[in-house]
Structure 1
Amino acid sequence: MPQSQAEHGAQNTSKASSSEASSRLNKLYVLDTNILLHEPLAFTSFKEHDVVVPMTVLEELDYIKDSKKDVARDARVSIRAMEDLLRDASPEQMLEGVSMRGLGSGQASPSGSLSIFADLSMNKTQQVFTSNENDNRIINAALHLQAQHAPREVVLVTKDINMRLKAKGAGMSKVQDYRTDQLITDIKYLTKGYYEFEGEFWSKVKTVESVTEGRDTLHKLDKSLVPDPYINEFLVDETHSFAGIIEAMDDTTLDVLDLGYERLMSRRAWGISPKNIGQAMALYTLLDPHIDLVVLTGPAGSGKTLLALAAALEMVVEKNMYDKIIVTRSTPEIAESIGFLPGTEEEKMAPWLAAITDSLEALHKNDENTKGSMSYIMEKANIQFKSVNFMRGRSLQNAIVILDESQNLTASQLKTIITRCGEGTKLICAGNLTQIDSNYLNALTSGLTYIVEKFKNFSGSATISLDGVVRSRLAEFAEKEL
């Protein structure tokens, strides 16, 4: 029987009210520019919720994509991704919102919409801030959308702390940081790379099966002995009577290689030996050719760069295991300033890689001719200084790559560098999470923190958090007291 016009109208009204109720449940996220620079595809991370990008954000991305800033590539990636989604949309559809279904896979795939808000067309009576600064324009847009879509929840998302304060003060109900890349809630929970037992290790062990092959002894232990164990995690105790590393594990047991505390402490590389157990564990992972990624974290003066360079020289010059050493680092100023410095790429990078040359000088300070030794070793070990920006597009084969100051990189930037590493390449990432220079990062959202947590269950990687300043008693006191 055909539907009456009244029934048909009632059904349409029901569908409209259902759609309206559904849209009220979904939040509306307004993104600041720094979110898309921090993670270019961030607009796809809000699941069933809708995302709005103000026109001012597109203007800022347009300016940055052609600049010499180190985030220019991220701006271009974000613009291309949005253009791919909105390419076939009409102007009306772009303002209304285009569905993001199909952009991802699995439970993380977005089902909300992406729209562009023409905040430039807002008249002065709709604006709280009258100055024309970009941050103020974005806040004005968020406030306008909050009023327009009430009672639906509208959230401004920005990594700029001051902008969050301004937005709240101007009347924005919901303002938050971008947290999808944050794997831990507090930096104290960051993986250290080792587990220290109180008292003596063997007093904690109830059952063990030991097998000796040549000089190596492997212990099969109960998995419950170690809370949340993972591959390449070191096990040590307070009494300095045991040191081992987890080589394999299953649902119930751990295979622990007995390293011997004294043997671990007596290892040497390029004439230096560890000053504490943390450095000893770091040196072990650095010299192990089966570990492709070593992450060293710790305070200034804990020996990260010196150990990395000593191990690299040992493996390239003495053992001929690798062909070259590539040294790079990231600081916010490099991309903008390097072009104005004279000389080759290596000479341009020299001011920022002084920590490496200082460490190289320290390793040869007792030679008769320190400068001559340094020049000889730099040529012999084929040490190359490279800018992070020039690492993209390369494929690094049979090399040791030392990435210093890696706490200033985002997860996507670190991914770019890690995926450059080809067959037979070892990557050493060193960084101090208390010395982050980036405006968009903190200790929890740094790419260094991200890869420590992401790679902790990968058998080809190891993390060591160095504790204790060994540079000097002055540096040690400053690290503790200042």
Structure 2
Amino acid sequence: MGKNLTIDHKMYVLDTNVLLHEPLAFLSFQEHDVIIPMTVLEELDHIKDRKKDVSRDARVAIRALDDVLRDATPEQMLEGVNLPMVSNEESQQVGKLTIVNDHLYEETVSGLPGNENDHRIINCAVYLQKKYLQEKVVLVTKDINMRLKAKGAGLEYVEDYRTDQLIDDISLLSSGYKRLDGDFWQQVKECDSEQVGREIHHTIPRDLVQDVFINEYLLDEGGHFAARVESFDDQHIKLLDLGVERLMSRMAWGIKPKNVYQSMALQALLDPNIELVILTGPAGCGKTLLALACALELVIEQGMYDKVIVTRNTPEIAESIGYLPGTEEEKMAPWLAAITDSLEVLHKGDENPISSRNYIMEKANIQFKSINFMRGRSIQNAIVILDESQNLTASQLKTIITRCGEGTKLICSGNLAQIDSNYLTAVTSGLTYLVERFKNFEGSATVNLNGVVRSRLASFAEENL
């Protein structure tokens, strides 16, 4: 570590929460050096045996660190071990991974009392900053308060971990649809149309619409034109003509869309060719109700799927699920009240809504599952509703999506303004990752349900509180 390099070379000191958020984060710093303080290893050690979602991430991080450092001698560990190459470029300079014993440093280095883990990690970064004046020492942490403390303790460079971030601002996140200026057909000079069964397909020049992606919905200001992008190349875009009036007249399990956003969501949910539907939007915009109505329509009325599996992330579920009485379904009931509430709404006109709800739950084979028990399963011919998915990391979402076998449709819904996880923000949520990563996958569609339809009161609260 005694290299005398230019200021372009950086030393990144990683906090524990970075490795919990992304267990392989230490491989993302390219040619720069990565420092793991001993305190971080101790924290990972404590977390790995807890019955929490993050315990798995802690174990993955420990194993990954062991893979790099397994054959190193103590002298090499102190000097730094070369990180694995992340690209095939031969000219790329390789950074080093070093474990630093931060217990050896006096707390007077930073002035912070040494009995807290956060303080020891800050202490380590400040010590390195004073020792290696020619290098840029950066503390990387997802803890906002720790970033403030580090700056107050004299550390020049403190950053959030954003290597995995796909967008800089949540306002840049795709809504799944585009509003085009003016009347669409007035701008179209050339168009090839063909009818296949009851569907009409149009092929238009590519330059009419900027930056399209597969299954993006297009609406015009006139309020009559609506279409979905089926495919495109450098010259042309192929559209499926939907029509706003036809979209608004669709129904699922007695539910009619209340606005054009709900109608686009309904179209995607009822299309068997779309295996992943992502619904985002504020509380009360109808995400759960629409997902459930379409699930019942497809399972009971159309018989396209065998069952409905409902699952959601519950921050404290790993500890408290064991203490609740009953079966897994009964233990999950408090967290899935949103689903049972929606089922009652769908049958509120019946003589006995509670009996109807129970009958439908049996007929549609609705199963409530904890995310913790989704691992290792292979789900076939089912509709999976993943509620509150904004609280999941990208790796947790990957675990669930890779469970989906043949003939399975996955509906992910979430509100990026209501994240409960300590480690996630709107831009680093797995739901944001999902929307951006699946934009060009022909089997997925995303719709931002813009506008609260729950009540006048809920709508006012969403905008003004």
Question: Which residue is equivalent to 2:387?
Answer: 404
One-letter identity of the residue aligned with 1:367: D
Shift of 1:105: 4.2
Relative to its length, the structure with more helix (as a share) is: 1
Aligned mates of 1:387, 1:92 — CA distance in 2: 46
Question: Which residue is equivalent to 2:314?
Answer: 331
Question: Which residue is equivalent to 1:62?
Answer: 45
Are the counterparts in 1 of residues 138 and 159 from structure 2 also a CA contact under 8 Å? yes
Structure 1 position 438 matched with structure 2 position 424: no
Question: Which residue is equivalent to 1:139?
Answer: 122
Moved over 3 A (4+): 19-25, 104-110, 123-127
Shift of 1:206: 2.3
Question: Which residue is equivalent to 2:404?
Answer: 421
What value does the CA root-mean-square deviation take over the aligned residues?
A: 1.7
Alignment match of 2:148 (pick from 160, 165, 169): 165
Question: Which residue is equivalent to 2:272?
Answer: 289
Alignment of 1:367-386 (within 5 A): 367-386=350-369
Question: Which residue is equivalent to 1:450?
Answer: 433
Shift of 1:106: 4.0
Structure 1 position 211 matched with structure 2 position 194: yes
Question: Which residue is equivalent to 1:118?
Answer: 101
Aligned mates of 2:231, 2:428 — CA distance in 1: 30
Aligned mates of 1:447, 1:235 — CA distance in 2: 26
Q: Which moves more between the two structures, 238-247 or 425-434?
A: 238-247
Aligned mates of 2:443, 2:107 — CA distance in 1: 58
Question: Which residue is equivalent to 1:7?
Answer: none
Aligned mates of 1:376, 1:110 — CA distance in 2: 64
Structure 1 position 27 matched with structure 2 position 10: yes
Aligned mates of 2:396, 2:78 — CA distance in 1: 31
Structure 1 position 310 matched with structure 2 position 262: no
Alignment match of 2:370 (pick from 344, 365, 387): 387
Q: Secondary structure at the match of 2:295?
A: helix
Deviations 1:144-190 (A, max 9, x none): 11111112100000000010000001000000001111111111111
Structure 1 position 81 matched with structure 2 position 67: no
Aligned mates of 1:312, 1:288 — CA distance in 2: 11
Aligned mates of 1:48, 1:349 — CA distance in 2: 46
One-letter identity of the residue aligned with 2:430: G
Aligned mates of 2:94, 2:233 — CA distance in 1: 38
Question: Which residue is equivalent to 2:224?
Answer: 241
Shift of 1:127: 4.8
Aligned mates of 1:118, 1:178 — CA distance in 2: 23
Q: CA 1:87/1:110 → structure 2, altered by over 3 Å: closer, same or farther? A: farther
Question: Which residue is equivalent to 1:51?
Answer: 34
- TM-score under structure 1 length normalisation: 0.93
Are the counterparts in 1 of residues 110 and 154 from structure 2 also a CA contact under 8 Å? no
Shift of 1:336: 2.5
Aligned mates of 1:144, 1:469 — CA distance in 2: 52
Deviations 1:274-298 (A, max 9, x none): 0000000001111111111110000
Aligned mates of 2:122, 2:60 — CA distance in 1: 24
Alignment match of 2:447 (pick from 464, 467, 474): 464
Deviations 1:51-87 (A, max 9, x none): 0111111111111111011111111101111011111
Q: Secondary structure at the match of 2:333?
A: helix
Structure 1 residue runs without a partner (length 5+): 1-15
Q: Secondary structure at the match of 1:393?
A: coil
Structure 1 position 363 matched with structure 2 position 346: yes
Aligned mates of 1:343, 1:95 — CA distance in 2: 52
Aligned mates of 1:302, 1:189 — CA distance in 2: 20
Q: Secondary structure at the match of 2:322?
A: helix
Structure 1 position 300 matched with structure 2 position 283: yes
Alignment match of 1:174 (pick from 154, 157, 180): 157
Aligned mates of 1:372, 1:135 — CA distance in 2: 54
Shift of 1:122: 2.2
Deviations 1:329-362 (A, max 9, x none): 1132222222221111111111111111111110
Question: Which residue is equivalent to 1:95?
Answer: 78
Aligned mates of 1:469, 1:204 — CA distance in 2: 32
Alignment of 1:10-25 (within 5 A): 20-22=3-5, 25=8
Q: Which moves more between the two structures, 32-41 or 384-393?
A: 384-393
Deviations 1:121-149 (A, max 9, x none): 22344452124111111111111111111
One-letter identity of the residue aligned with 1:71: V
Structure 1 position 183 matched with structure 2 position 162: no
Structure showing greater radius of gyration is 1
Are the counterparts in 2 of residues 201 and 241 from structure 1 also a CA contact under 8 Å? no
One-letter identity of the residue aligned with 1:413: Q
Structure 1 position 40 matched with structure 2 position 23: yes
Alignment match of 1:344 (pick from 319, 327, 351): 327
Aligned mates of 1:283, 1:60 — CA distance in 2: 46
Q: Secondary structure at the match of 1:352?
A: coil
Alignment match of 1:227 (pick from 207, 210, 213): 210
Aligned mates of 1:183, 1:106 — CA distance in 2: 23
Shift of 1:21: 4.7
Question: Which residue is equivalent to 1:3?
Answer: none
Aligned mates of 2:35, 2:369 — CA distance in 1: 38
Q: Which moves more between the two structures, 125-134 or 81-90?
A: 125-134
Are the counterparts in 2 of residues 100 and 110 from structure 1 also a CA contact under 8 Å? no
Aligned mates of 2:119, 2:7 — CA distance in 1: 26
Q: Secondary structure at the match of 2:201?
A: strand
Are the counterparts in 2 of residues 395 and 422 from structure 1 also a CA contact under 8 Å? yes
Alignment match of 1:259 (pick from 235, 242, 250): 242
Aligned mates of 2:68, 2:313 — CA distance in 1: 32
Are the counterparts in 1 of residues 68 and 84 from structure 2 also a CA contact under 8 Å? no
Are the counterparts in 2 of residues 326 and 386 from structure 1 also a CA contact under 8 Å? yes
Shift of 1:23: 6.7
